């Protein structure tokens, strides 16, 4: 989800001063998060903390975060909805109540097809449990304000693209699904779009551009650069592109994450890390889940909220110990992982660096296995290391743990056992 906020921040200074090239400083002193980031955090807060995902709960989150950050260039209609609901009636569209179950009270949806619904929807894709769930959450996140069919469609397109990307779909599959489901013309690439593209706040004008930047990219940074280079509503385009690119590439360069750390409020990081912790159990490609025989008593649970006195949470991170996402962030928050310590036992957790290639990872895993042999009094719960932001599959990582097969105090993910026991 951080990818959305990075795109928004990088694109912020080019929104009204477009730059039609990928050759530009990624960050400058003028870069700052905008309304795109605030509302992305608000939707994530709603999904994390409202068990029934109600429209009332969503309204409360949007209002809470909007009022915390009132100066972030909200669009006119949304600004009235957020800060001056008593004036909405003067602008009310006669078709605004065509969607069932609109929220009660003063605020009401205003039939918008603007890209504000799409820009805030990334958490719907990260937290969805299925493609159908992504569609539903996208719809719910939009209709409280953007109840025009195009506004709803834009949020659903972002949510489903992210869900497909993070669960292992190819670019070709994502392209085919989005084009056939939502009717967007995705035939043009960035070089074709860029020369004539102009400021367009509609979902139907924004989504094809943002998706083209993702499809044309080769890594996370190139996706952001391509998105900004198209011009137009650059922060929103890059926000959407960045969200999808992070989900697909499973990696954001550490230097970019470091740069963002001082540009975002701490309460944003709390929500971001909570999202990563919630979905870390779902990072693996479901097509590779194990069904082969394995030691039933030594399978790491899909989700670990607490540890028994002798248990150690084993997670993947990086050599610099920047524990910002996924299970790493969870380890910091719950189990005593130490920022700046990239490997080894820390609190009730054990870090394994996963961002420096398989061979370096192999050496770290060997050291971990030796440590586990020396400490039979501890039980090590190995999470799907390397299968999240690092971008590896269980098939890549599982062979590194073959030597742990006979260690009764090392538990492995179910998906690892398939490749170890075959």
Distances (CA, A) of 317 to 4, 115, 180: 21, 34, 38
pLDDT of 87 reads: 67
State the pTM of this model. Answer: 0.67
> Which pLDDT does position 2 carry in this prediction?
94
What local confidence, expressed as pLDDT, does residue 89 receive? 58
Q: What is the pLDDT of residue 268?
A: 94
Helix (H, G, I), strand (E, B) or coil at 103: coil
The domain spans of the chain are 2-271, 283-421
DSSP per-residue letters across 155-181? HHHHHHHHHHHHTT--HHHHHHHHHHH
Supply angle C-alpha 36, 41, 45, rounded to 5.
Answer: 150
Q: H-helix or E-strand containing 349?
A: strand 349-353
Of the options 3.40.50.300, 3.40.220.10, 1.10.1200.10, 3.20.20.10, the CATH number for the domain spanning 283-421? 3.40.220.10
- Contact, 38 vs 66, CB < 8 A? yes
Q: What is the DSSP letter of 412?
A: B
pLDDT for 189: 96
Q: Are 320 and 343 in contact (CB under 8 A)?
A: no
Helix then strand count (H, E) for the chain reads 19, 5
Q: DSSP assignment of 26-95, as one string?
A: S--TT----HHHHHHHHHHHHHHH-TT--HHHHHHHHHHHHHHSTTS---HHHHHHHH-GGGGGGG--TT
Count of Cβ atoms closer than 10 Å to residue 141 Cβ: 31
Q: How many CB atoms lie under 10 A from the CB of residue 322?
A: 17
Tens digit of pLDDT at every position of the chain (422 positions): 899 999 999 999 988 788 899 999 999 889 999 999 999 999 999 999 998 999 999 999 999 999 999 988 898 899 999 988 776 654 444 444 443 444 444 788 999 999 999 999 999 999 998 999 999 999 999 999 999 999 999 999 999 999 999 888 899 999 999 999 999 999 999 999 999 999 899 999 999 999 999 999 999 999 999 999 999 899 999 999 999 999 998 888 888 988 998 899 999 999 998 888 887 633 333 322 323 334 446 888 877 878 888 899 999 988 888 877 778 888 888 899 999 999 999 999 999 998 888 999 999 999 999 999 999 889 999 999 988 766 788 889 999 999 998 898 999 988 888 888 65
The Cα 217–Cα 25 span in angstroms is 18
Spatial separation of the C-alpha atoms in residues 267 and 119, rounded to whole Å: 19
CATH topology of domain 2-271: ADP-ribosylglycohydrolase fold (1.10.4080)
The pLDDT assigned to 297 comes to: 63
Give the start-end residues of each E strand in 129-245: none
């Amino acid at each position: 989800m951080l990818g959305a906020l990075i795109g928004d921040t990088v694109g912020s200074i080019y929104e009204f001063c477009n730059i039609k090239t990928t050759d530009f400083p990624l960050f400058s002193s003028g870069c700052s998060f905008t309304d795109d980031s605030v509302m992305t955090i608000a939707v994530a807060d709603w999904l994390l903390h409202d068990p029934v995902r109600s429209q009332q709960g969503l309204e409360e989150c949007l209002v809470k975060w909007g009022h915390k950050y009132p100066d972030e260039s909200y669009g006119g209609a949304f600004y009235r909805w957020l800060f001056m609901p008593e004036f909405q009636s003067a602008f009310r569209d006669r078709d605004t109540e065509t969607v069932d179950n609109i929220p009660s009270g003063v605020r009401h949806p205003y039939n918008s097809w603007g890209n504000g619904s799409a820009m805030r929807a990334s958490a719907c894709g990260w937290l969805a449990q299925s493609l159908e769930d992504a569609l539903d959450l996208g719809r719910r996140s939009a209709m409280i304000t953007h109840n025009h069919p195009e506004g709803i469609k834009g949020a659903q397109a972002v949510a489903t693209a992210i869900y497909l990307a993070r669960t292992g779909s190819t670019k070709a599959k994502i392209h085919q699904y989005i084009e056939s489901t939502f009717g967007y013309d995705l035939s043009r690439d960035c070089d074709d779009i860029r020369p004539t593209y102009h400021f367009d706040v509609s979902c139907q004008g924004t989504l094809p551009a943002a998706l083209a930047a993702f499809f044309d990219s080769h890594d996370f940074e190139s996706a952001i650069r391509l998105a900004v280079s198209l011009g137009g509503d650059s922060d929103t385009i890059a926000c959407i592109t960045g969200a999808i690119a992070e989900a697909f590439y499973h990696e954001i360069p550490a230097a970019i994450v470091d740069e963002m750390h001082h540009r975002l409020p701490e309460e944003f990081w709390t929500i971001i890390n909570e999202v990563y912790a919630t979905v870390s159990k779902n990072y693996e490609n479901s097509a590779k889940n194990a069904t082969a025989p394995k030691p039933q008593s030594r399978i790491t649970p899909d989700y670990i909220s607490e540890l028994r006195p002798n248990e150690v949470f084993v997670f993947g991170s990086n050599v610099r110990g920047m524990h910002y996402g996924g299970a790493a962030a969870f380890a910091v928050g719950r189990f005593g992982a130490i920022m700046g310590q990239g490997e080894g036992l820390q609190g009730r957790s054990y870090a394994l660096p996963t961002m420096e290639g398989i061979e370096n990872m192999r050496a770290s895993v060997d050291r971990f296995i030796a440590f586990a042999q020396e400490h039979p009094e501890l039980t090590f719960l190995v999470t799907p290391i390397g299968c999240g932001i690092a971008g590896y599959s269980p098939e890549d990582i599982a062979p590194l743990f073959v030597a742990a097969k006979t260690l009764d105090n090392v538990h492995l993910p179910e998906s690892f056992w398939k490749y170890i026991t075959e």
